[in-house]
Amino acid sequence: MKRRPIPLHFDPFKVNLLQMGRFRIALSILLAIFVIGIIGYMVIEDWSFMDSLFMTVITITTTGYGEVHPLSGGGRIFSMVLMIGGIGTMFYTATIIIQYVAEGQFGSRLWRRRMKDRIDDLKNHFIICGYGRVGREVTEHLRTQGYPFVVIEKEQAGFDRAAREGCLCILADVTSDQTLKEAGIERAKALIAAVGQDVDNVYVTLSARELNPNIFIAARASSEDSERKLRRAGANRIVFPERLGGHRLAMTALRPWVVDFIDATLYGRQKEFALEDIAIGPQSPVSGKTIAEGQGTCGGATILAIKKKDGTLIPHPSLITVIEAGDEVVVIGTIEQLRALEGSN
């Protein structure tokens, strides 16, 4: 049965506008009744402010201490009206508060349950550990490309931000084996360790590699010492954000058009075509064929480079180069061409 779509964010600590409006109205009415009661007793019975306040409180709350002073006929009628209005308003206010608390707790449990169900349904997805500046950029790119992902964040603020921005997310320790299992590490395609602390990224990599020996792991690092540890822990690729940013700035100044072209193809800013690396499986229609034959088979997508099974890289291969099962190819083409080639493996 198809699941109904659910809101990806629920904050039980924030009242919605309707509840807030009702609460403000009830509070305003209750305050107005107190003011009317005080002024009424001061005018009708000629009492002092403190006596009028005390009489108003015990009348509205039905405490039952008795009259402060003997009441006149007008004072008794006023007290009855005040009691009816005050008790009704207090019950209404209490009902709103109880309703908010009950709905908040129930809604929170329901939201988390549905979130867990959706995460459990994920396959061949990406796991992003950390939702700081780097993690947010990663999720934005994956969302643009249409890839499924789940975020693990240990800080409440980061978790709330991820949920508000529409991410499937888990609030837990990113280094915990149980947390990775909840994120579907056994079914995941790749894990991206984007936590700000290198030591956490090392622990995440170790745990992920142990739980899923075949998963692709990309990790963030800030020092060469951390790079060595991450490689030993099992990371397939290691990225230095500062170094990458410096290279990007230099390339932008030196070869701006090349950078624009890479942005358009690699980051999906040009919707008509994209750049992908695709693993060739035994059932692929291009397996065992030359590039010339393969380009016709895959609808005209252009193969720019081939990485052979033994690790040999062939840039700009000739048209007679044979594509074999187990090779990885870098292809540029339309989204439809690339998806067809990926889906045929």
Spans of all domains in the chain: 17-118, 122-245, 255-343
Kindly write down the DSSP assignment for every residue of 123-167, as one continuous string.
Answer: -S-EEEE--SHHHHHHHHHHHHHT--EEEEESSHHHHHHHHHTT-
Beta strands (DSSP E) in 154-254 are 169-171, 190-193, 216-220, 237-239
- Rounded CA gap, 181 and 173, in Å? 12
Question: What is the model's pLDDT at position 209?
Answer: 96
Query: Taking a C-beta distance cutoff of 8 angstroms, is the pair 192, 138 a contact?
Result: yes
Question: What is the model's pLDDT at position 66?
Answer: 67
- Please report how the helices 17-44 and 73-120 are oriented relative to each other, as an axis angle in degrees rounded to 10: 170
Q: With respect to CATH, is domain 255-343 assigned 3.30.70.1450?
A: yes
Q: With respect to CATH, is domain 122-245 assigned 1.10.4160.10?
A: no
> pTM for the whole thing?
0.63
Q: What is the fold of 17-118?
A: Helix Hairpins (1.10.287)
- Rounded CA gap, 195 and 218, in Å? 12
In 3D, which of 95, 157, 167, 94 has the Cα closest to residue 128? 167
Q: Which amino acid is at 100?
A: Y
Query: Taking a C-beta distance cutoff of 8 angstroms, is the pair 291, 320 a contact?
Result: yes
Q: Which tokens go with 28?
A: 């305003």
Beta strands (DSSP E) in the chain are 126-129, 149-153, 169-171, 190-193, 216-220, 237-239, 274-279, 289-290, 302-307, 313-315, 322-323, 328-333
How does pLDDT run along the chain (345 residues), one tens digit per residue?
A: 333 334 444 454 444 555 667 777 878 888 888 899 899 889 888 888 988 888 888 888 777 666 677 888 888 888 888 888 888 888 887 887 777 666 655 556 677 788 888 999 999 999 999 999 999 999 998 988 789 999 999 998 999 899 888 899 999 999 999 999 999 999 999 999 999 999 999 999 999 999 999 999 999 999 889 999 999 999 999 999 888 889 889 988 998 888 887 777 776 555 567 778 888 888 777 888 888 887 766 667 788 888 888 888 888 888 888 888 888 888 888 777 777 676 555
